[in-house]
Amino acid sequence: MPHRSRSISSNRHPSRIRAARARRLGRLTAATATAGIAVVALTGCGTLDAFATLGNPVGRGLYETAATFEKTETAKTLSSDWLPDDAARVRLTYRHDGSAALLMFTTAQSLDQLCSPANTVPVPALEDSWWPQTLPETAYLCGDRWTAFADGGTVYAFTGTDTSAGASLTSGGGEAQTTRSPGY
């Protein structure tokens, strides 16, 4: 009887085993990444805000509707109950301690319907790239602590004002320029 050498079957060759492991690891990595993206997408900015507080006093959020925004702890902290139901594309920059916030949203409603006229226009304590460089000469008081103004169908509102000695509004052609003391 001829001698048969014992060989590794072609299905169990070491290079095939390594390739199969690599494919399984690749699928597992892709599934984990997809699940992570789904969790963030389904929970909205709230998940991102939880990580943003670590070492950063300012948070940001972007919400499709007022209803989505109103469900957040941030909305409850900032007393934003005056937001109209049709508010959309709600954008927010805020201090985590609740002392100041910037808010922007679109609405079909007029500020006359939502708020009462303000006597002065204070300077907001925060800035962001999407916040207007100039403030109007007239504004509205909304809720218990928001100052708001509109530019077409976009409403800008803020809480917390710059109380530094150099913060003021200077009139200039129908709009007010914000000026702050050096080092703001």
Quote the pLDDT of residue 8: 52
- Distance CA(91)–CA(129), nearest Å, equals 12
Whether the CB-CB separation of 69 and 63 falls below 8 Å is answered with yes
Whether the CB-CB separation of 175 and 134 falls below 8 Å is answered with yes
Quote the pLDDT of residue 179: 37
Crossing angle of helices 14-43/45-52, nearest 10°? 100
Residue written as token pair 């409603």:
109
- Distance CA(44)–CA(160), nearest Å, equals 26
Structure-token pair, residue 9: 């079957």
- Positions in the chain whose pLDDT score sits under 50: 38-43, 45-53, 165-184
Quote the pLDDT of residue 161: 81
Residue 20 — φ and ψ, nearest 5°? -65, -40
Write the pLDDT tens digit of every residue in 68-103.
888 888 777 777 778 899 999 999 999 988 889 999
CA distances from 47 to 7, 17, 40, 59 (A): 54, 39, 6, 12
Quote the pLDDT of residue 149: 95
